[in-house]
Amino acid sequence: MTAYLDNAATTKVSESALKAAVTAMTENYGNPSSLHRMGLNAELAVTKARKDIALAMGADPERIFFTSGATEANNTILNGIAATYGRRKSTIVASSIEHPAVEEVLRELEKKGYKVKRIPPRSDGRINFAEFASAVDNDTFLATCMLVNNETGAVNPVDDIFAAVKNKNPDCITHTDAVQGFLKLPLKVSALSCDLMTVSGHKVHAPKGIGAMYVGRNIRLAPCFYGGGQEKGMRSGTEAVPLISAFGEAAAEQQRNIETAYKNALMLNSTLRKSLAPLDYITFNTDEKVSSPYIVNFSVKGIRSEIMLHFLESRNVYVSSGSACSKGKKSRVLSQMNMPDELADTALRVSFSKMSSWGEIEMLVSAIKEGYMTLQKTGR
């Protein structure tokens, strides 16, 4: 048996999403722009998927645009908003714990002369709404704050943050990277006061290479790509119908079972915490009260993350050291939380999906115990 507990990095494609992709490749393979029936059928599949994604965001389907993933959506949004709203104003306020798909774009914008004010998290891993809003002034054209941190699972109070931002400066555009909260926590763009939202397919049992952005009705966004004018000119290029259909199917399926999956994640999370809590070499890096039940981050005393990760791998248990994207680099997120090096260097991220099971937790706990004993003896 395999314990795949790295679902914040990516998930297994669900049966129904796979089927939808295969149908779009082998039967419904027309180009949505073609004027004949085959084209229309492909367009209908895209329209259906758009509705399913919109429903999961509590948004109007007309305002959902498909992209190649959350990285492209974040790039389009940040660069596009800077191009339209950043002409007369120059400041962006952001959390200091954004995913590289936001942080690296902000660094590029800084090189172009924009000012970025970064708000660090409190020691619990969350951004404080009052601290965030206090950085917003009349020169701020964009505020961006992720919903769930991909390394720690900490859930930011994005509703309070953006309400406070709008209160201070009603013209400030708000964006949330909701990748790790989408189809896991209840989500509604209006409840979050957000003008823009980013989501990704492969974190929710759709294939890699598909994502979407919500762009509020009154928001003017300069596109990244120009061409055939697909996606209302917001993202030119022939629509990836197989990926879009699979994404829509995965979203519809997950939306139907969101509460059951949430309860399952809560149960797995608390089982894992209860099993590890008695071990004096384990430290939890986030409190379960402030984090998504889908992610647990903890440190194993004295054993570097990569060493333990590979030991667990040898026992068929797959977890992550920090985020999958940071590939062994020191975690920016944990250092922003002022975590001591001995905890940051030994941190592991365990992440669940609706497919995760109790047996996988058992495998993980016994492999951690064995790994700690073995690696301690061998001097790592």
Write out the two tokens for 310.
């590979």
Instruction: Give the residue with the Cβ less far from ligand PLP, 95 or 299.
Output: 95
Site track 323-342 with ligand PLP (rule: CB under 6 A), x = hit: --x-----------------
Q: Where are the alpha helices (DSSP H) in the chain?
A: 15-26, 37-57, 70-85, 100-111, 129-134, 158-168, 241-256, 258-276, 305-314, 332-336, 341-344, 358-377
Residues in contact with ligand PLP, total (CB under 6 A)? 13
Q: How far apart are CA 201 and CA 195, in angstroms?
A: 20
Q: How far apart are CA 191 and CA 309, in angstroms?
A: 38
- How far is C-alpha 47 from the chain's CA centre? 24
Residue nearest to ligand PLP (CB): 69
Site track 297-326 with ligand PLP (rule: CB under 6 A), x = hit: ----------------------------x-
Site residues for ligand PLP, 94-123, by CB under 6 A, read 99, 101
Q: Is 325 among the catalytic positions?
A: yes
Site residues for ligand PLP, 171-200, by CB under 6 A, read 177, 179-180, 200
What's phi and psi for 78, nearest 5 deg? -70, -45
Site residues for ligand PLP, 150-169, by CB under 6 A, read 150
Instruction: Give the residue with the Cβ less far from ligand PLP, 70 or 133.
Output: 70
DSSP 223-241: -S--SS-TGGGTS-S---H
Q: Which of 13, 45, 54, 70 binds ligand PLP (CB under 6 A)?
A: 70
Instruction: Give the residue with the Cβ less far from ligand PLP, 105 or 282.
Output: 105
The active-site residue out of 145, 194, 224, 325 is: 325
State the first-to-last Cα distance of the chain, in angstroms, to the nearest integer.
26
Q: Which of 93, 146, 183, 344 binds ligand PLP (CB under 6 A)?
A: 146
* Residues annotated catalytic, as ranges: 325
